[in-house]
Amino acid sequence: MSILMQYVDRFHEILDKHADQRTTNWFMMSSPFPTLFICLSYVYGVKVLGPKLMENRKPFQLKNVLIVYNLFQMVFSAWLFYEIGMSGWLTGDYSLRCQPVDYSDRPQVLRMVHACWWYYFSKFTEFMDTIFFVLRKKNDHVSILHVIHHGCMPMSVWFGVKFTPGGHSTFFGLLNTFVHIVMYTYYLLAAMGPKLQPYLWWKKYLTVFQMIQFVAVMIHAFQLLFIDCNYPKAFVWWIGLHATMFFFLFNEFYQQSYQQKKKRKQQTITNGMKKDHQQNHQTNGMTNGSTGNSSGRRDAADYYVKGDSLAASELNLRKSYTTTE
């Protein structure tokens, strides 16, 4: 045990040697292990412990809680976007091409450092997205993408606050907080009930919006590999590869959630039209007027109830806007 602690102490000495001295003694910044422990606990809790505890329980009804939570997240994201923007990106003081880290104690610089620190904590509050899914027994929402995205972000941002709180990589925080303003606005409206569902047709475009964000981050980060800029190359790779990984994960989610569903709907409509044609052909060929028409109406009624026709498909599609959450 003592040997292990020696290695841990040595590891902390190496970190502190290269760390930004302004944030070294801030809460949660002295060591990466508390953040790592929280992230691992989150993964275990939402994938194993939580579903097991909820297995024989009814799902919680959390409408009001979700409204308050999403409102808080929307306001928190808006504040972070404002702070990161006014610390450099929206004032013209930061360059999109190359922005080294300013390690001075100027008020505007320290404003960015504090914004980075609070952005780090925002990654923990986002854990509640998943916890609410588990409490409502929507375990199908707790996908691998969802858990990876939320589970690794605090650890990733910790290194940024520890070593480079400011500069080029904060562009990711600027874009990410803006995306979250839009995202939590959608979740807030969705939590208010089915009356607003018809106006939330733009849900799938949130995923597209997030993928555009990752492409922008990739371009912005990897450009430093081809120009001379006083910014750590390790963090260029760190941010760029994170954006690349998330882009492919979100793209896979988009393909599975929307493109494949679209193909299945088109196939259902096509099959329904074929069956409708066959049914009409059989009905028109009957010679016994009373018996034939009665049988035809009964079969047609069964046919539409099953939802195989184009009309039923359209009806179900309309219903989905008011029944889906």
Structure confidence at residue 310 as a pLDDT band (50, 70, 90): very low
3-state secondary structure the chain: CHHHHHHHHHHHHHHHHHCCCCCCCCCCCCCCHHHHHHHHHHHHHHHHHHHHHHCCCCCCCCHHHHHHHHHHHHHHHHHHHHHHHHHHHCCCCCCCCCCCCCCCCCHHHHHHHHHHHHHHHHHHHCHHHHHHHHHCCCHHHCCHHHHHHHHHHHHHHHHHHHHCCCCCCHHHHHHHHHHHHHHHHHHHHHHCCHHHHHHCCCHHHHHHHHHHHHHHHHHHHHHHHCCCCCCCHHHHHHHHHHHHHHHHHHHHHHHHHHHHHHHHHHHHHHHHHHHHHHHHHHHHCCCCHHHHHHHHHHHHHHHHHCCCCHHHHHHHHHHHHHHCC
Task: Say if 307 falls within a structural domain.
Answer: no
Residue 189, pLDDT above cutoff 70:
yes
Looking at residue 15, its amino acid is L
Task: Say if 3 falls within a structural domain.
Answer: no
Looking at residue 118, its amino acid is W
What pLDDT is attached to residue 264?
61
Q: What is the pLDDT of residues 41-96, one digit of tens each?
A: 999 999 999 999 999 999 999 999 999 999 999 999 999 999 999 999 999 999 99
Structure confidence at residue 255 as a pLDDT band (50, 70, 90): confident
Residue 236, CA distances (Å) to 11, 195, 292 in order = 23, 45, 74
- Catalytic pick from 149, 168, 220, 242? 149
Residue 218, pLDDT above cutoff 50:
yes
Task: Say if 254 falls within a structural domain.
Answer: yes
Six-digit token string for 102:
């300013």
Domain count, the chain: 1
The answer to which of 102-106, 141-145, 289-293 has the lowest mean pLDDT is 289-293
Residue 174, CA distances (Å) to 107, 210, 221, 231, 241 in order = 19, 13, 14, 18, 18
Residue 86, CA distances (Å) to 25, 82, 94, 127, 178 in order = 25, 6, 10, 27, 14
What pLDDT is attached to residue 293?
43
Looking at residue 210, its amino acid is Q
What is the arithmetic mean of pLDDT over 25-37? Answer: 95
What pLDDT is attached to residue 6?
84
Task: Say if 275 falls within a structural domain.
Answer: no
What is the arithmetic mean of pLDDT over 293-306? Answer: 34
Residue 13, pLDDT above cutoff 50:
yes
Task: Say if 321 falls within a structural domain.
Answer: no
Q: State pTM to two decimals.
A: 0.78
Regarding predicted confidence, which is higher, 241 or 290? Answer: 241
Regarding predicted confidence, which is higher, 140 or 42? Answer: 42
- Contact criterion met (CB below 8 Å) for 144 and 136: no
Q: How far apart are CA 174 and CA 81, in angstroms?
A: 6
- Contact criterion met (CB below 8 Å) for 254 and 236: no
Q: How far apart are CA 158 and CA 235, in angstroms?
A: 12
**Tally of residues, the chain:** 325
- Contact criterion met (CB below 8 Å) for 189 and 68: no
Residue 324, pLDDT above cutoff 50:
no
Q: Which domain holds residue 244?
A: 60-266
Q: What is the pLDDT of residues 193-204, one digit of tens each?
A: 888 888 898 888
Task: Say if 240 falls within a structural domain.
Answer: yes
Short-list 319, 320, 321, CA closest to 199:
321
Q: How far apart are CA 19 and CA 17, in angstroms?
A: 6
What is the arithmetic mean of pLDDT over 138-153? Answer: 90
Task: Say if 236 falls within a structural domain.
Answer: yes
Structure confidence at residue 312 as a pLDDT band (50, 70, 90): very low
Q: Average model confidence (pLDDT) for the chain? A: 84
- Contact criterion met (CB below 8 Å) for 303 and 277: no
Residue 149 annotated among the catalytic residues of the structure: yes
Over pLDDT 90: what percentage of the chain? 62
Burial class (CB in 10 A: 0-12, 13-18, 19+), 226: exposed
Task: Say if 87 falls within a structural domain.
Answer: yes
Q: How far apart are CA 90 and CA 170, in angstroms?
A: 12
Structure confidence at residue 274 as a pLDDT band (50, 70, 90): low
Q: How far apart are CA 131 and CA 52, in angstroms?
A: 13
